[in-house]
Structure 1
Amino acid sequence: MATNLKPGEIAPRSGEYEIKGPRGGDTGQERTGVKGKPLPPTPKAGQTYEMHRPAHNGAGKAPKK
């Protein structure tokens, strides 16, 4: 998933989101995003998020019945 998400947008999936610079460069920083919750503010204006490592523990999936 190479879609850049803005701070405050709803996370489509739980996992670690990498913070990208204004021109798309790596910042070396990550934040945890939870599916269905807004992504946190970035340290600097113009930065965005990109999914780096999705959660593998089933977070965000419906429980089995």
Structure 2
Amino acid sequence: MDKPKAVTAAAHKLARLICSMLTQGEAYTDQGQVCCEERYRQCVLNKLNKRAQQLGMTLVPAAPAAQAG
């Protein structure tokens, strides 16, 4: 995405947040980095599952790796 489009997208997102806060009377609460990372992880997993289904495959979660102690 080039710079003018990125600036426009950021401005639009801020405008939506402000409009939502004003119309609903709610204060802004920052959900934090962990929330954003988890949402990104879920998005990636959903895309991988969809792509696997298109190829006739299924994804199987790996067992958690044993921690070295």
> TM-score interval w.r.t. the shorter chain?
under 0.3
**TM-score where L is the length of structure 1:** 0.21
Q: Which has the higher contact order (CA 8 A, sep 6+)?
A: 1
Greater CA radius of gyration, 1 or 2? 2
The structure that is strand-richer by fraction is 1
**TM-score where L is the length of structure 2:** 0.20
The structure that is helix-richer by fraction is 2
